[in-house]
Amino acid sequence: MSADFDIPACDAFVEDISAFVDHELEGDRATRLTDHIRACPGCGDYAEGLRKLSEIHRRSATAVDEGALEARIDPKGLFRGITSVLVSEKQGTLARLFYEIGRAYVIVGNRELSEANRRSVVVHTPTLDIRGNEERAKRMLRQADQLQERAAPARRSLFKQSRRLFERGRRERSGALERGRHFLEEALALEPGLDEARLYLGFQFSVTGRFERARVEFRKVYAGDGLPVHKLMALQSLGSVYEMCNDYMRAAECYAQVVSDEAAGVEPRLFPSFLNLPVSCAKAGRSGDSVRHFETLVQRFPQRVAQIRGLLSRKQSFAATLAQNAGLLDDLRRAVPQLFAA
């Protein structure tokens, strides 16, 4: 049995709802709450969840095992167990919400950088409204604290550090990239296996020049037990970090491993590896491999030739490589004139 609070309750009614479920709310306050619940899905959902918990608690208090009359059910233990499950569910929901907020901050922060410092990032889904979802996260934190208080009153709150996240935001005037890092790190504290958050945390580190920290996060995802697509995205991101550090041989090795996987051809977020592989080979002095991979790129994605040309035109370091290697440029013009016609 699970009581889900997908839509948060309104702050002004949380206390009244608890009293209402416990039959301790009377008079005008009860009337006002009843009218509000009819019109507010979040408060209605919250009240129903608490009602179900109270009903389970009431029933368990008189339950007897018919197979052994002496072995009575511990109602408090049963109630704590059920509530602990709800706390765990709330913890997972908060982790994903923190990830979405952190991701949004990082994308905004990256866009605010200068052209020279900005990094390419594939945004697979639209970002959330930051301010509105921060308020939603605060409400969910209060609900989670109430659930945990019911399950284990003497236990230290699981969400104390999460609350500090918002307190820090009021005290500090940090930029979007730094705020994004805080939210992503808190998401991982609540759910360490949330690979999406770790990928964006690694991206934040790479954007801010902390390349070794970025490599650590990407390697954790790649070496973990997560989804294959996340492991490939981590490998692609690792190649990007090596490229930023001018280690083009290692970058090419990462990209080559990505494109060799069958999943890469059907996953749009992995397309950068197909483009970056021949570029990295060229920068590493592997001219023959660069030509071969460019040929494969055009054969595999003929419908994206115009897009590829546009992307290559923005790679200034690659243009500098071709300017210094006339032989490679001639070979590319002959092999893939669609991309390098004079």
Task: Give bridge partners of residue 64 from the DSSP assignment.
Answer: 72
SS3 content of the chain, % helix, strand, coil (to 5): 75, 0, 25
- What token pair was written down for 154? 């003497």
List beta partners, residue 72.
64
DSSP 192: T
> What is the gyration radius of the CA atoms in the chain, in angstroms?
27
Averaged pLDDT for residues 58-71: 46
Identity of the residue numbered 79: F
- 59 vs 301, which has greater pLDDT? 301
Residue with tokens 């999406």: 196
d(CA 45, CA 22): 16
Contact 100, 133 (CB under 8 A): yes
The number of domains in the chain is 2
For residue range 280-335, what is the model confidence (pLDDT) as tens digits? 999 999 999 999 999 999 999 999 999 999 999 989 999 999 999 999 999 999 99
Q: Are residues 48 and 156 in the same domain?
A: no
pLDDT band at 125 (very low <50, low <70, confident <90, very high): low
Same-domain pairing of 10 and 141: no
Q: Both 211 and 91 in a single domain?
A: yes
* Average pLDDT score over residue span 151-165: 56
Residues 90, 190: one domain? yes
More confident residue, 50 or 263: 263
The token duo for 328 is 């490679």
Side-chain half-sphere of 262: how many Cα atoms within 13 Å? 0
User: What pLDDT does 4 receive?
Assistant: 41
Q: How many CB atoms lie within 10 A of CB 289?
A: 17
279 falls within a domain:
no
Shared domain for 60 and 81, answered yes or no, is no
pLDDT for res 210: 95
Which pTM does this prediction carry? 0.68
Q: Above 50 in pLDDT, residue 2? A: no
For residue 332, is it within any domain?
A: no
Its domain, for residue 40, covers: 1-73
Which has the higher per-residue pLDDT, 335 or 97?
335
